[in-house]
Amino acid sequence: MRKLAVGDVTVERVVEAEGLGFPPEFLLPDSDTAAIAAQLDWLEPHFFDRESGRFIQSVQAYLVRTPHHTILIDTCVGNGKDRPSTRAWHQLDTPFLGDLERLGVGPETVDYVMCTHLHVDHVGWNTQLKDGRWVPTFPNAKYVFHKTEYDHWVAHGDYVTPGPGTSDGFFEDSVLPVVEAGQAEIVTADFALDDTIRLDPTPGHSPGHVCIQLESQERRAVFSGDLLHHPVQCRHPEWNSRYCWDQAMSRATRKRFVDRHADEDVLILPAHFATPTVGRITGDRDGCRYAV
C-alpha cells in the first residue's frame, strides 16, 4: 500500500509481518472449502495461496497524520514479548520502530495510539522493555482504549483460547504499564479525536471492539480492526473467526458493516489484509467481494 491521501490526512501502513497465514478451517471454523474455491477469481493472487491452501495475511499498524495529530492505529505483536502459544509471535525482533522512523516518525512524536480492541496482536508495541520493565513505547502519546473493552479485560484477564493466538499475558505487559504510566485515555463510544477521527462501536469480535472512522474533505475511510479478518468474509460475513467473543453478535455486526459499505465510496483499511490491503467492498447479485 502506497501512502494514501484522504483529504488532507495521510495514511501509511507499517507492516510487522506478512506471508502465509492460517488455513481457512482454523481461522474461520465456519468456512467451506468449496465456497472459498468459488471465490478464487478475486482472492488470488493477493489473499489466498492455492498451493498451500492457506490464507495470505499480515500483521500491521497504520500511521495517520492529520493537520493536528500523528496517530498510530493498532500496534501489532511487539518485540521481546513472551508468546509461546504462537511460535511466529514469540520473542519477536523486528525493525518495526526503524520502519516508523523511515517514515519520519520517532516514538516521541506520536501524539495518539488508538487500539480498535485489546487483543494480543493489536497492542504489542504499546510497550517496550527498558531496564527490565515494560514501559510505554511512545512517551508523549495518549493511548485511547474503549471503556467497555478495557473494563472487560480488567474483570476477566487474558482469554485462553487454545493454540495459536492465545493472549499469553498481553494485558500485563502491553496494557497495564500504559495505564500505570498515566498515558491511557479510557473513552466511551461517542469519542472523537478531532474533526476527522471518531469511533464507531462494532462489538462482537470483542466486547468493546471499535472501527475508527476517518473523514476529511468529503473523503472517507474506515480502519476495521478485526471486524474482518480476511477478505472472503465480505462474501461470507456469517463466517466468524475462532477468536470472536460473541458468535451471534459478531456475525450480526459484520453483516451490518458489509451491507452498509457495499458500493459506497469508502476505503477499508483492515488489520490483517495482505498487500495491497486497502480496498472497497463491492456488491453484486451474488453477494459482495473486496476490490483492491
Which CATH number is 129's domain given?
3.60.15.10
Is 148 a domain residue?
yes
**Residue 106, pLDDT score:** 97
- Please check whether residue 2 lies inside any domain of the structure: no
Report yes or no on 3 lying in a domain. Answer: no
Give the rounded percent of residues in the chain with a pLDDT score beyond 90. 89
pLDDT digits (tens, 9 = 90+) for 119-142: 999 999 999 999 999 999 999 999
Burial 198-218 (b: 16+ CB within 10 A, else e): bbbebbbbbbbbbbbbbbbee
Which has the closest alpha carbon to 39: 190, 169, 232? 232
Could you tell me which residues are beta bridge partners of residue 142? 112
Q: Which residues pair with 114 in a beta bridge?
A: 73, 144
Split at pLDDT 50, 70, 90, the class of 165 is low
Window from 24-33, 57-66, 152-161, 275-284 with minimum mean pLDDT: 152-161
Helix/strand/coil for 142: strand
- Does residue 69 belong to any structural domain of this protein? yes
Q: Which pLDDT value is given to residue 146?
A: 97
- Residues spanned by the domain of 186: 8-291
With a cut of 90, say whether residue 285 has pLDDT above it: no
Q: What is the C-alpha to C-alpha distance for residues 122 and 136, in angstroms, rounded to an integer?
A: 14
| 241 is a domain residue | yes
In a domain, 280, yes or no: yes
- Between 165-179, 215-229, 266-280, the lowest mean confidence (pLDDT) is in 165-179
Q: Is residue 1 part of a domain?
A: no
Q: pLDDT for 16-73, tens place per residue?
A: 999 999 999 999 999 999 999 999 999 999 999 999 999 999 999 999 999 999 999 9
Across the chain, mean pLDDT equals: 94
Q: How many domains does the chain have?
A: 1
User: Is 251 part of a structural domain of the chain?
Assistant: yes
